[in-house]
Structure 1
Amino acid sequence: MRRVRSIAGDSVNLLLYRELERCDDATEEVLWRLNPELAEWGSILPAGVWVVLPEVDSKPVAPTPVSAWD
């Protein structure tokens, strides 16, 4: 697992998107389970907080759009 430091003004979603290029609910849930102490900081993290990132495969595959003409 990889550890990163937050930048001043980071939210969990912003940090996930910057580091993993995704911020879906499943990834965020795993991040909170790995870092329960983050809740102490509130919704905006100060600079320098160590965060353990979850291991994820790749970007989620976008579902095939449904067309009215199919």
Structure 2
Amino acid sequence: MEHQFTVEGMTCGHCEKAVTQALRGVDPQAEVRIDRQAQQVQVRSSAAREALAAAIREEGYRVA
């Protein structure tokens, strides 16, 4: 299933890596694409949307 999130606060490559690792902590097979300038994160995963959003929030980012 494809999920799209607007994630505020990503400012650098480290932020992208942190978000990617958080998402893969929920689903190791997740495919993650990040457009930092647009503040968009696209995830192809079988995990529940709320579990993915919670993982991003736990890293300190706001999911709009």
| TM, length-normalised to structure 1 | 0.33
Q: Give the number of the structure whose residues are more often strand, by fraction.
A: 2
Higher Cα radius of gyration: 1
